[in-house]
Structure 1
Amino acid sequence: MPPSHDDFAARLPRVGRLIGLDLGTKTIGLALSDLGRGIASPLETIKRKKFGVDAAALLEICKKHEVCGMVIGLPLNMDGSEGPRVQATRAFARNLLPLTDLPLTAWDERLSTAAVTRTLIDADRSRARRAELVDKMAAAYILQGVPRPAGADAPRRGRTSRPTGDRYTVYDGDDPQ
């Protein structure tokens, strides 16, 4: 059984920014929370190159924004099973961990890109503008779903404040199974 989301939360200071990652094959969408972790805002998109270059860019952004933890979207299949994209995400997380002391957790990102795309279509954004925005907005969507610190306001988007099932995974260097 994987460690609980509480293990990730226990490694975080009471106040501090989280960075959300929407890991794609061509880009990494990034979002940043406020200090109280109640609001997530799209930040930027990293164009993927090689892992070392991607990791260096990500960690530089984390340092610049004084991030205290990372949340990476876990692209589970609709039935909750794991496919090749989940394996790639776990590999990225596993390779990133030795490069940083920041805690890292994964959060179920099913439908995040679809929800953001629908919002952008409803807002009458052009296809080019949607392509520009979707990854970092999906990262914000993922980050908004993560429970807030104890004592914070009510949870967002109808999710419970304490996740259940496989909606999260805490990475400690080994593949959780």
Structure 2
Amino acid sequence: MRIVHQDTPDFVLHHGSGSVGIEVVEAIPRQLAHAYAVVNAAIEAGDPVPDVMSFRHLQSERKSTARKEILNRIDPRNADPWLGDEPERHWLDVMSRVIMDKCSKASRYGYRHNLHLLINDEVASCADPERAWTLLQDQHDLMAASGAAFAAIHVLSQRKLYSRGFA
């Protein structure tokens, strides 16, 4: 058995009776990725950043938001708490976007029935992963599209692996 790194899909696992394609993606909200870049740039420039950060208010930010505004919004003293199932709904929105993006690209990989999607969850550490995973399973159109593109989807969330296979 051997694993080969490539571009489409990211890895191919060759074994005695065939091969399996593995597409790997990190699920992170675009706004959060942009905020991380702003924070890193501020640190490199020697600018002050909060010791503890809250990314709650970045859900609807545009990429063009000014550095000062982002640094102000990630200060937890300026953030409202999550309410109800907001963390899980936010998780679901990001996961749905990531999965649909990969579903649209999967047909090019040539591993239709032997292609697995592995998602490293970097979305919301305050989301209850069991509740969030249940919400994802309830998205019938998303699961149908996923089943047409992948043999299985695996989400690594808070050090636990959640998997769904498709017949």
Please indicate the TM-score interval, normalised by the length of the shorter structure.
Answer: under 0.3
Find the structure with the greater CA-based Rg: 2
What TM-score, normalized to structure 2?
A: 0.26
What TM-score, normalized to structure 1?
A: 0.25
Greater per-residue helix proportion: 2
